[in-house]
């Protein structure tokens, strides 16, 4: 199970912090990467970024200057931080597990299949 938590409402220019708590699997498992995907209301899915528990992260170039990801191995949690929020950042934020398809994914972030998703956290920037 993946469970996202965070504030439902944030103000423009502020920073969004979301946490994903993983149960039933350890984030310190080299078979998996972990990531965030978001979806504005009525729009398509957008990949935000992926992280490996040892620290490497891979970010969507369109968000790279505003996004950071981190892991807390002791708590089996991953976190997302998104700065300088605007209304365009409103949407549902999903935490997901990506199963490594090839060993090279541990160095590049792909190929890794997002096969298990959380229920999503609704975020409104207003």
Here the tokens at position 94 are 């999903």
Nearest one of 78, 82, 100 to 91, comparing CA atoms: 82
Instruction: Compute the least distance from the CB of residue 124 to other proteins, in Å.
Output: 16
Instruction: Compute the least distance from the CB of residue 66 to other proteins, in Å.
Output: 18
45 scored as a contact of other proteins (CB under 8 A)? yes
Question: Which neighbouring-strand residues pair with 117?
Answer: 96
User: What are the residue ranges of helices labelled H in the chain?
Assistant: 105-108
111 scored as a contact of other proteins (CB under 8 A)? yes
Assess contact for 121 and 92: CB atoms under 8 A: yes
Contact range with other proteins by CB under 8 A, out of 22-30, 68-76, 79-87, 116-124: 116-124
Q: HSE-up of 78 (CA within 13 Å, CB side)?
A: 30
52 scored as a contact of other proteins (CB under 8 A)? no
- SS3 (DSSP) at 71: strand
Contact range with other proteins by CB under 8 A, out of 18-26, 63-71, 83-91, 107-115: 107-115
Give the H or E element holding residue 108. Answer: helix 105-108
3 scored as a contact of other proteins (CB under 8 A)? no
58 scored as a contact of other proteins (CB under 8 A)? yes
Interface residues with other proteins (CB under 8 A)? 37, 44-47, 50, 58, 60, 94, 98, 101-102, 109-115, 117-120
């Amino acid at each position: 199970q993946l469970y996202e938590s965070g504030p439902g409402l944030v103000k423009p220019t502020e920073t969004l912090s979301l946490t994903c708590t993983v149960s039933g699997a350890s984030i310190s498992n080299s078979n998996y990467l972990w990531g965030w995907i978001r979806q504005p209301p009525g729009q398509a899915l957008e990949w935000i970024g992926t992280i490996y528990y040892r620290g490497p992260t891979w970010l969507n170039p369109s968000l790279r200057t505003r996004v950071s990801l981190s892991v807390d191995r002791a708590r089996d949690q991953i976190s997302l931080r998104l700065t300088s929020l605007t209304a365009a950042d409103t949407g549902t934020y999903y935490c997901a597990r990506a199963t490594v398809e090839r060993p090279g994914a541990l160095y590049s972030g792909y190929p890794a299949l997002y096969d298990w998703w959380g229920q999503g956290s609704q975020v409104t920037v207003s």
